[in-house]
Amino acid sequence: MQQKKRKAKGLRTDGPIAEGIVSSLHLGAPGCQVDVDGARYSVNSAVPGDRVRVQSLMLRNKPEAARVLEVLEESELRVEPVCTVVHRCGGCTVQEMSYAEQLKQKHESLVKFLDGLVDASNIHPVSGLSKPYGYRTRLLMPAAPRSRNGGVRFGFYGRGTTKLVEASGCPVQHPHTLATVAMVEQALLGTKVTASEPHSDEGWLHGISVRVDPRSGQSELCLSARDEDIPGGDSLVSRLTSLPGISGVHLSVNPQRSSYLFEHGFIRLGGSKRTAFHLGGQDFHLSPGAFFQTSAEGAELLVEHALSMMPEQFDCLADVYGGVGVFARLSEKRWKRAVVIESNDTSIEDLRSYLKNQKNLQIKAVSGRVEDRLGELERMTPDVVLLDPPRQGCHKNVLARLADLRPAQIIYVACGIEALARDGAKLKEAGYGIKEVRSVDMFPHTTHLEVVADFRL
């Protein structure tokens, strides 16, 4: 192994410092694990086999969190990171691990999480992306003042701070998202738009979101700002709408800057209300705020895995936590009837807009929290239930009702691995077993993993 000392910069002292060996990647945690004097910590920017000096932290009362102060001895699995700000940015936590090793580590971690629920032989290797860079089709960047002379710049928050890290060449972002941000920065030069700052009432623009369809190159542009009083008014809107590839410009108003830039709905300023995003041979016309996967290739793989588990022909599908109905729409040749239940009103309205021109497609779009609309499942008596819950998993009442209804198959699409293990244990108690598990590396260089589990009676 190469002997090398690399010190991290800009770290504050929080807790005791110790040396340890990096042991493994841990799904859902920040990075890899380090064993130190009988304790186990989770750290970023570490690779299994590294010998490191770490400093324990107290993040949201989680004493197991730590930061790497220094790499004393490098692992053979370590690679040179592509990103020049990887140690300061809060995004990619395992980019210094070879991609093949990332996939291997994620599979091993998944097997550990699901131990007792399914035999390891039924857990397929992780499906990786053909190109683990340039894959992110959505970009969210806070704003900051460019200089004393005016202007706005965009970037990502640094690890554990609200200080902006410029990342104009972020290697995991799709080139079209980066190009759009660069054009917006140029378009704002010489205008009266100013950036807001944390813990201040000054400035107008909190940040931007760009979502691009790789096939068409069309981008949805959203601004997060303090109020509806747009500096420059219609002139600024026209300037942004006319940028190449921009399908529509939208505004989300948030009186105070926060970590959640887009949580208060959207106002269309110019261009189209919806932008078309391609998936599985269909176009999904989406409004801002409607969920769609951030990796186009990853989304294709996820749909492929879920559909591979479905019967070729059956009567009724329940697409629960269904968003804009991706799984229902892309499996429409297999079922006779379907119901999509989703709490996000924007997603349901986008689905209903699509269904207006699909008179022969028997999809019922139901708006509301899943736990409040369980009566729809009783009325539809589905043969197959596809669950795609948020990271925290299913409401306990949802699992209890499914245990009563006893559909022949439940396909669980999980973005939260701990929730899958918890909910899977409840389904096991109800008599279900896992036939197979597949997964998709939706976000390379992070510890995130999308998992699809096939539960059968």
Residues with Cβ within 8 Å of 284's Cβ and at least 6 positions away in sequence, in order, are 276, 277, 278, 292, 324, 326, 329, 350, 354
pLDDT number for residue 129 = 98
CA distances, 329 to each of 36, 89, 351, 419 (Å): 50, 37, 10, 26
Model's pTM, two decimal places? 0.93
- Contact 353/285 with Cβ under 8 angstroms? yes
- Contact 393/422 with Cβ under 8 angstroms? yes
Cα separation of 126 and 289, whole Å? 29
Write the single-letter amino acid at 362.
Q
pLDDT number for residue 176 = 96
pLDDT number for residue 9 = 44
Q: Which of 320, 437, 334, 444 is nearest to 374 (CA)?
A: 320
Query: For residue 147, what are its two tokens?
Result: 């200089």
Residues with Cβ within 8 Å of 134's Cβ and at least 6 positions away in sequence, in order, are 171, 172, 173, 174, 175
pLDDT number for residue 287 = 97
pLDDT number for residue 2 = 45
CA distances, 116 to each of 123, 124, 309, 392, 416 (Å): 12, 16, 21, 21, 18
User: What three-state secondary structure class fits 401?
Assistant: helix
Residue spans of alpha helices (H) in 310-430: 326-330, 345-355, 375-380, 396-405, 417-429
DSSP string, 414-440: ES-HHHHHHHHHHHHHTT-EEEEEEEE
Cα separation of 449 and 83, whole Å? 21
Cα separation of 99 and 79, whole Å? 9
- Contact 415/429 with Cβ under 8 angstroms? no
Cα separation of 257 and 203, whole Å? 10
In a 13 Å sphere around the CA of 79, the CA atoms on its Cβ side amount to 13
pLDDT number for residue 150 = 67
Write the single-letter amino acid at 83.
C
Write the single-letter amino acid at 274.
R
**CA angle, corner 178, sides to 175 and 183, nearest 5?**
125
pLDDT number for residue 441 = 98
**Cα radius of gyration (the chain):** 23
Q: Return per-residue pLDDT of the chain as tens, 457 residues.
A: 444 555 444 444 457 788 999 999 989 888 899 988 778 888 888 999 999 998 887 655 455 778 888 999 999 999 999 999 988 887 899 999 999 999 999 999 999 999 999 999 999 999 999 999 999 999 999 999 887 666 899 999 887 677 888 888 999 999 999 999 999 999 999 899 999 988 888 899 999 999 999 999 999 999 999 999 999 999 999 999 999 999 999 999 999 888 888 888 999 999 999 999 999 999 999 999 999 999 999 999 999 999 999 999 999 999 999 999 999 999 999 999 999 999 999 999 999 999 999 988 999 999 999 999 999 999 999 999 999 999 999 999 999 999 999 999 999 999 999 999 999 999 999 999 999 999 999 999 999 999 999 999 9
